[in-house]
């Protein structure tokens, strides 16, 4: 079984476009949890273009007492971000190599050049009790280097998988993700995945053995607008289970 973590950034983006508190991020998180979703993901950026630091605190307060539901906070490990993690102590922290002005995530960390940079960050995060994942491209060499670090999991960046889903080269791309996931597990790493996964392409992806969690936001929220939140949540949970 693969756990589903719903990224609610787009709910916050819609709220921020009007300058008040509708739609309410916490209330929408509750709706997903009521449908059986076992994870909520947020990515608070420095400019707070969608999720704010207060949203992170409010969601921490919502999820902390709940059994079987996890909060995953992802982001670039700036000092401000690390302090937020130390304050909230989420179930999982996912490190993503985003520049402050970046529209969305578009690559994984490069352990060939960032091992020394990440080492003290990972050590610091582990003292908070959070499980740590690092955003990673489906590259065997990167997986091997990640396994030598203190990260608990990797999150495979699935944009290429989604982009090529209906293309002739998709079997080769899918195989690369499967090889990376299998290698990671052999080396003792848990495997998460996320970015542009959807109702259309998720079922094939989770045939890869051992995918522990998928984090899905943009496509899922769009599908909720088209099909309704309860229907979409049920469909995703059925695929994951």
- 43 catalytic, yes or no? yes
- 226 catalytic, yes or no? no
- Based on DSSP, count helices (H) and strands (E) in the chain, helices before strands: 11, 8
CA gyration radius for the chain?
17
For residues 83 and 222, give the distance between their C-alpha atoms in angstroms, rounded to a whole number: 32
- Residues near 168 by beta carbon (within 8 Å), at least 6 away in sequence: none
- 74 catalytic, yes or no? yes
Q: How many residues does the chain have?
A: 241
Q: Which of 50, 195, 213, 223 is catalytic?
A: 195
Q: Which of 74, 183, 213, 223 is catalytic?
A: 74
Q: Residue 42: which of 123, 124, 32 has the closest Cα? A: 32
- In the numeric block, which tokens belong to residue 12? 């916050």
Q: How many CA atoms lie within 13 A of 223 on its CB side?
A: 18
Q: Which of 43, 155, 174, 223 is catalytic?
A: 43
Residues classed as catalytic: 43, 74, 195
């Amino acid at each position: 079984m693969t756990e589903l973590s719903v990224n609610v950034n787009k709910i916050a983006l819609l709220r921020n476009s009007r300058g008040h508190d509708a739609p309410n991020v916490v209330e929408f998180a509750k709706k997903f949890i009521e449908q059986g979703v076992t994870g909520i993901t947020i990515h608070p950026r420095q400019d707070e273009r969608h999720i704010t630091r207060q949203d992170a605190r409010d969601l921490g307060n919502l999820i902390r007492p709940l059994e079987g539901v996890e909060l995953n906070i992802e982001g670039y490990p700036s000092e401000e971000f690390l302090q937020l993690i130390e304050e909230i102590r989420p179930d999982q922290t996912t490190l993503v190599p985003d520049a402050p002005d970046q529209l969305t995530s578009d690559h994984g960390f490069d352990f060939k050049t960032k091992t020394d940079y990440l080492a003290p960050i990972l050590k610091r995060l582990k003292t908070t009790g959070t499980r740590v994942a690092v955003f990673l491209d489906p590259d065997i060499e990167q997986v091997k280097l990640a396994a030598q670090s203190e990260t608990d999991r990797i999150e495979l960046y699935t944009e290429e998988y989604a982009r090529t889903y209906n293309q002739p080269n998709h079997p080769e791309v899918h195989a690369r993700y499967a090889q990376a996931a299998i290698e990671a597990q052999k080396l003792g790493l848990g495997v998460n995945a996320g970015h542009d996964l959807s109702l259309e392409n998720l079922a094939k992806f989770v045939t890869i053995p051992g995918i522990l969690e998928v984090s899905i936001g943009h496509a899922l929220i769009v599908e909720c607008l088209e099909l309704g939140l309860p229907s979409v949540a049920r469909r995703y949970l059925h695929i994951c289970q």
